[in-house]
Amino acid sequence: MAESVGRAVRRAVYGGVLYPAAQLVSGRSFVRVRRRLEEAQWEDAATVREGQWRRLSALLCHAYDTVPYYRKLMEEAGLKPESLASDDFHLLPVTTRRDLKGGSGVSGVRLDMVSTAVDATRLRPLRTAGTTGTPVVFYRDPALDDWGHATAALFNSWAGI
């Protein structure tokens, strides 16, 4: 009994006071993202699919508009991102690890030319482990860190942590 009360108090203090205060001070969005993930876990399959397609469509349009490699791939396949429907997903060209690693142009994009919506000075270079011989370098916006932390927290909550 005392353990469950202690757990409830910790959850209330962390979830209701400390995390929101840290978010407010830091300008981060961990709590907002966590709440969104908690709501999303109960959405029906159709709502999830619609949201996934809406976000993927926006990503495809962005890639087409800002990365010559992806524009070329889609044009060669006769595709325009804005005209794709969710059941056309199988038509999208696949980018392989080989494409990422070697002279295809996908990894040769200048960061200052990526998009006006991206602050390239914020991007952090990351790399794969290189277990296939050569690591692949990619760039990640630190804003995604909140999604990673919120996802881990949600998964942990399922395990009672």
Segment 77-122, tens digit of pLDDT: 999 998 888 888 889 888 887 777 665 555 545 554 455 556 667 7
Q: What does R_g of the chain's alpha carbons equal in angstroms?
A: 20
Residue 50 or residue 4, greater confidence = 50
Segment 16-56, tens digit of pLDDT: 777 778 777 877 788 888 889 999 999 999 999 999 999 99
Question: Is the confidence at residue 4, as pLDDT, over 80?
Answer: no
Q: Report DSSP letters for 21-85, one per residue.
A: HHHHHHT--HHHHHHHHHHHTTS-HHHHHHHHHHHHHHHHHHHHHH-HHHHHHHHHTT--GGG--
Paired tokens of 101: 């690693």
Cα–Cα distance for residue pair 49/33, rounded to 1 Å = 19
